[in-house]
Amino acid sequence: MKKWNLPRIDSKSAVIALTVLALLYFIVLPLAVLIWDSVMVDGTFDLSSYAAVYSQKVNLKALRNTVEISLLVMLLSVLVTFPLAWLIGRTDLPGRKKFRTILVASYMIPPYVGAIAWTQLLNPDVGYLNQLLKTLFSLSQAPFNIYTRGGMIWVLTLFYSPFAFITISRAMEKMDPTLEEASRIAGASPLKALWDVTLPLMAPSILAGGLLVFIGSGSCFGIPAIVGMPGNIEVLTTRIVSFVYMGDDQGIRNATTLAVSLMFLANGLLFFMSWLMGRKDYTTISGKSTRPVLVELGRWKGLATFFVGLYAFLAVILPLGSIVMTSFMVSMSKGIRLDNFGIDAWIPVLENSQYLDCIWRSLGYAFLSACIGTVLALFVAYLSVKTRVPGRSLPDILVMVGGSTPSVVIALALIIFFSGNYGLNLYSSMWILIVSYLVKYMTMSVRTIAASLSQVSSSLEEAGLNAGADWLRICKDIIMPLIAPSIVAGWFLIFMPSFYELTMSNLLYGSDTQTIGVLLYELQTYADTQNASVLSVIILVIVMVGNLILNKVSKGNIAI
């Protein structure tokens, strides 16, 4: 009999091939089917669905609201965070490290929890802050109403501006200080050096931070749903969810059309940013010393400290204080009194099996997502950094596309693709939730692991091969121990956002797969303020503990 000599496939090639196939199947195909369904009607290319959807004033207004509100949030975020980043990173401002920790902490707060906090503070009828201002100034009506366009912009700015602050402050710390120092030696004042030197050099980071804020606020569902919808302010994300909830074919088709519009808006901006930055040279890091001489604020130190402290209070301390205070109130009707505080509201929550099930379920889903995602991220990062295979950057690009795609778009794509029409049927199962978390949150894990892999010498792997070990053994015994802190950090970067995720979970959960984010959103929707506050505090505690572990493991280099 004739023997066939089949080519030998080594473990490295097999693992990489399976990883690429998994990314294609779970990221590319669902998004491709979503786009296909939006432009094809009965097998024919047809854009009539776009004309039909945008001929409705409510959808056109939602699109306009999305763009206008996101632009305003982006501009406000940059205008606020650039001076904050400069004051904290480049001046002798007192308590700079503490202020940085407080401002970055708002990045850890789930946006919908921040929205709940501000509805408690600025509700026109019972808001704590409104009640206080009415009493202090003898006002007949509340001075603020959170359920307005301005209220929505306020909350979005507070909880998405950390995107800009982190981006700008990191770039500012690494910028070559000699250019600023030369400007100062030439006689320029600190403000003139800031305007003429620092600001132009920081342009790419400012643009990058601003666009991240634009995309984040435009893709957000929690804040528009909790703050905007009660005031009849619709954006694309809330319209998409409303159409999905209709449940019929026309509703899904309308949702698909809006989702594709939102996807192209978000990803188009990201690729435009990459193209724009690639056209100019913005070298701000050199081989020289990158330790800038701190600018002395002098007589402005007090005012600057007050400005930074006020922002930190409004962005973090005040909303967190509202959530915590509400969770310990005995009775909401009695208001803020010393004899009205206790743990009475906590006991029913901690004894409620539905609530506890949601918490444990969310922890379990986040754990599985983080474990699977970290393994995939390791292989994607290895392929990108440690091989010379043609197309090795493709998986990294696919992961980036998934991470940059709005959550509501990912959820709708998975609903359409995994409803049994294209093979797997994961609808309403825990696996469709886990897939959505992987698609959305693997990006940061890949980046973190890739950064560490680039520092591992290839000679170590070659030594292992020469000793007769296969590639998987080398990964387990050599590579993974060397980059263990980054692997753990990458694990937490998937685990924490998956734990408190709302938008995708709200569209993908079933009767037996409700998560903590969905439960909290429903409690807030049905005006169960105290239980919502208790669950919010539990979420915040878990996220902050996770962040402390991540900070410890990464030695302060990585945090949510």
d(CA 241, CA 237): 6
Q: How far apart are CA 120 and CA 542, in angstroms?
A: 22
Q: For residue 206, give both structure tokens.
A: 């400012």
Which H or E run includes 44?
strand 44-45
Fill in the amino acid letter for 428.
S
Whole-angstrom distance, CA of residue 240 vs CA of residue 399: 24
Q: Do 327 and 394 reside in the same domain of the chain?
A: no
Q: Please give the residue range of the domain that contains residue 540.
A: 11-45+344-559
Beta strand pairing status for 44-45 and 40-41? antiparallel
299 and 373 part of one domain:
no
Least trusted range by pLDDT, from 57-71, 99-113, 149-163, 501-515: 99-113
**Count of structural domains, the chain:** 2
pLDDT confidence of 134, banded at 50, 70, 90? very high
Backbone torsion region of residue 46, taken as left when φ is above 0, otherwise alpha when ψ lies between -120 and 50, otherwise beta:
beta
Q: What pLDDT is recorded for position 285?
A: 44
Task: Please tell me whether the overall predicted TM-score, pTM, comes out greater than 0.75 for this model.
Answer: yes
Q: Are residues 313 and 247 in the same domain?
A: yes
Task: Return d(Cα 522, Cα 222) in angstroms, integer.
Answer: 11
Q: Which secondary-structure segment (H or E) carries 41?
A: strand 40-41
Asked if 132 and 276 sit in the same domain, the reply is yes
* Pair (134, 158) in one structural domain: yes
* First and final C-alpha spacing in the chain: 62
Q: How far apart are CA 227 and CA 208, in angstroms?
A: 27
- In the predicted model, is pLDDT for residue 69 greater than 70? yes
Of 188, 199, 184, 180, nearest to 290 (Cα)?
180
Task: Enumerate the β-bridge partners of residue 295.
Answer: 91
Residues 39 and 62 in one domain: no
Residues 157, 275, single domain; the answer is yes
Same domain, 178 and 265: yes
Q: What's the one-letter identity of residue 165?
A: F
Q: How confident is the model at residue 103 (pLDDT cuts 50, 70, 90)?
A: confident
Do 329 and 369 lie in one domain? The reply is: no
| pLDDT of the residue at 10 | 63
- Note whether residue 149 is domain-resident: yes
Within-domain flag for 1: no
518/296: higher pLDDT: 518
* Longest distance between any two alpha carbons in the chain, whole Å: 100
Residue 4 domain-assigned? Answer: no
User: What's residue 188's pLDDT?
Assistant: 65
Per-residue pLDDT band at 180 (split at 50, 70, 90): low
In a domain, 3, yes or no: no
Residue 6 lies in a domain: no
CA 136 to CA 113: how far, in whole Å? Answer: 28
pLDDT surpasses 50 at 396? yes
Instruction: Quote the Cα angle for 506-512-513, to 5°.
Output: 40
Quickly state the pLDDT bin for 227 (edges 50, 70, 90): very high
Question: Could you tell me the pLDDT band of residue 178, with boundaries at 50, 70 and 90?
Answer: low
Q: How large is the average pLDDT for residues 527-554? A: 84
Same domain flag for 449 and 505? yes
Q: Residues 310, 313, 316, CA angle at the centre, nearest 5°?
A: 140
Nearest Cα residue to 362 out of 501, 224, 228:
501
* Residue 387: Cβ within 10 Å count: 12
How would you class 159 by CB atoms within 10 Å of its CB: exposed for 0-12, middle for 13-18, buried for 19 or more?
Answer: buried
49, 130 Cβ separation under 8 angstroms: no
Q: Give the ranges where 418-457 is alpha helix by DSSP (H).
A: 430-453
* 243: its two tokens: 């159409």
Asked if the structure places residue 2 within a domain, the reply is: no
User: 80: helix, coil or strand?
Assistant: helix
Q: Do residues 519 and 436 both lie within one domain? A: yes
Q: 20 and 109: one domain?
A: no
Q: CATH code at 454?
A: 1.10.3720.10
Mean pLDDT of 515-532: 89
Q: How far out from the chain centre does Cα 488 lie?
A: 19
Domain boundary among 320, 342, 364: 342
